[in-house]
Amino acid sequence: MEYIVLARKWRPRGFEDVVGQDHVVRTLKNAILQERIAHAFVFSGPRGVGKTSVARILAKALNCEKGASPTPCHECANCREITAGTSMDVHEIDGASNRGIDEIRELRENVRFSPASSRYKIYIIDEVHMLTREAFNALLKTLEEPPPHVIFIFATTETHKIPATILSRCQCFDFRRIPLKQIRDSLGRIAAAEGVTVSEAGLTWIAGAGDGSLRDAQSVLDQIISYAGFVVGDEQIEEVLGLGDRRFLFLLSGAVLERDAGRCLQIIGDAYYAGLDMKHFYQALLGHFRNLLLTKISGQDRALFELSDDDMARLEEQTRNVARETLLRLLDILMAEEETVRRSSDSRLTIETVLVRMAYLEPALPIGEILVRMEGLEKRLASGTVSAAAPAPGRKGGAPLVPRSPVMPVTGKTEATSAPEKIENGGSARHEIREPGPRPGSLPVIPADIWSDYKEFIKKQSQPLWSKIEAGKFLGYEKGCLRVGFPPGYIFLDELNQKTLRNRLAELSTAFFGEDVTVKIETVEAGPEEQARGAQNGSQKNNRINDIKREALSHPLLQKVLDVFEGAEVRDVIPRGNHR
């Protein structure tokens, strides 16, 4: 007996057997019940989703000897002949091989004759978009005003190639890709009926290989049964489908999230020598990190995934201690380099470079955690309980962080040595804990290394202003006067002496120190030690750089740009090869 492949054997016989096209089935069944049958239909959609099968079912429903019904009997002569493809009144035409005007002229002659034994003469034209323009034009008049006993059903995977004049004369139905779950359930019923044992994960992989097409998934299942027999293991499915990259994907994502660049390179090497196509593997890696991100965002919601329960559990395990922001940045890197990998002549090397960047990427803190930390810091600063035991990031030693909110004066009701009123270069301030109480004329305690914190504060408030004072030297702070020194010939010295800029600097200084502050800009000569150090480090080079900066600022082209773009300003001038 001739073997019938699963895709033909399990082809839907009635509307109730159609999978994943409920919107089409419901409309056609209601049209039959209400006797509102159109004379022409267009069934469009991806391959293997049921277009031709539904066309045959519709033909049976209309020509069944027991009367037009959404549930044909499947037993009468008309139903059996339509199922077998031997009916004289239901014609299935291949649009690719009957695409010329001569074939359409012959069809126009035949439609005038009444059906031989059925209620309707039905023409099913598959891949109708393959017809020529002349053939479509020849079909127009017949399609618009066909005889009452004729129904046209057109099936196509490329609706956009059908002329609008044809589509406007038909009822159009868009067939959709079938969801993975429905394909998996259908394959499970087929496997049970055929006596085949397949795991749930294996059915999911087979359904995924169908890419939304039930017919393709049935063909894959048929092939796997031929390979593995009636007891199919997951390893055999992986071999047939080439799913070896699945294992490498989870290994790679684990290594990236653990920031182990060496292990990433080793895994890529193993995948390369295992025979994986690197460009195809990169696309799979993109999809894998997309799944990781969606898992972190959606949690237990499985609507966005077409994965087995085992794969979902592994994704949840890998993303448990990873911030959503980190996964988003990793996916951004992969997406940004997709075109580079596709065009690269050495895709393995390119992928290795991308993965090393990903592995060394600093993990991002969640926004919520950052806000919580900032709120806690603000509360401690407001209450004056900042701990001196925890140094600020980037600072050496255990010097306490000086708050940038208004600083309370150091007061005390017991005798104690007061802090020095003036801090010169190299000076130090003694920190003493005193009981709260009024003490007129007291000043805030300013540590000697306050200058770095002060510049950091200015940088956050005004990048252009920071770039101008960054090279300055802290000379002292006395009675609300901050003295800052710059070497002679400093490029921004004249600008800093302008009233507007000095007032802005004084305003930010007041916010930093917590009291009214005036800023005094001074010119200072370098000391003997600094002069010697400058000579050793190339002071002539620095002078040359300053000359370059002056020349750049006075360049006519720059002045023209500043005139054209209102409000534009020069933040800094960085000579080529000079990095600060």
Using pLDDT thresholds of 50, 70 and 90, give the confidence band for residue 196. very high
* Nearest-angstrom CA–CA distance, 262 and 359: 9
pLDDT tens digit sequence for 508-549: 888 888 888 888 888 877 655 555 555 555 555 566 666 676
Check if 6-174 and 180-241 are the same fold. Answer: no
Superfamily of domain 6-174: P-loop containing nucleotide triphosphate hydrolases (3.40.50.300)
Q: What is the predicted pLDDT for the residue at 409?
A: 39
Tell me the CATH class for 180-241: mainly alpha
Range of weakest confidence among 42-46, 105-109, 151-155, 359-363: 359-363
Tally Cβ neighbours within 10 Å of residue 211. Answer: 16
Give the tens place of pLDDT for each residue, 259-276: 999 999 999 998 898 888
The whole-angstrom distance between residue 102's C-alpha and the CA centroid of its chain comes to: 51
Q: Which of 22, 25, 55, 23 is nearest to 41 (CA)?
A: 55
In sequence order, which residues have a C-beta less than 8 Å from that of residue 89 and are 6 or more positions away? Answer: 63, 78, 115, 116, 117, 118, 120, 121, 122
Distance CA 212, CA 57 (A): 21
Looking at residue 561, its pLDDT comes to 67
CA-atom Rg of the chain in angstroms: 39
pLDDT at 444: 45
Give 44's strand partners.
156, 174
Instruction: Decide if pLDDT at 304 tops 80.
Output: no
Give Cα separations from 30 to 62, 82, 378 (angstroms): 13, 22, 67
User: Do strands 473-478 and 481-486 pair parallel, antiparallel, or not at all (unpaired)?
Assistant: antiparallel
Record: fold of 244-359? Zinc Finger, Delta Prime; domain 3 (1.20.272)
> At 476, is the pLDDT very low, low, confident or very high (cuts 50, 70, 90)?
confident
Mean pLDDT of the 321-343 span: 91
H-run or E-run covering 474: strand 473-478
From CA 338, how far away is CA 256, in angstroms rounded?
18
Mean pLDDT of 468-492: 82
Q: Where are the domains of the chain?
A: 6-174, 180-241, 244-359
* pLDDT for res 407: 40
- Give the separation between CA 100 and CA 130, rounded to whole angstroms: 9
pLDDT band for position 123 (50/70/90)?
very high
Share of the chain above pLDDT 70, in %: 76
The CA distances from residue 139 to 115, 133, 535, in Å, are 20, 10, 92
Measured CA distances, 510 to 286, 311, 480 (Å): 51, 58, 9
What pLDDT, on a 0 to 100 scale, did the predictor assign at position 454? Answer: 85
CB 502 within 8 A of CB 519: yes
| Confidence at 483, pLDDT banded by 50, 70, 90 | confident
Average pLDDT of the residues of the chain: 79
pLDDT digits (tens, 9 = 90+) for 409-433: 333 333 333 333 333 443 433 333 3
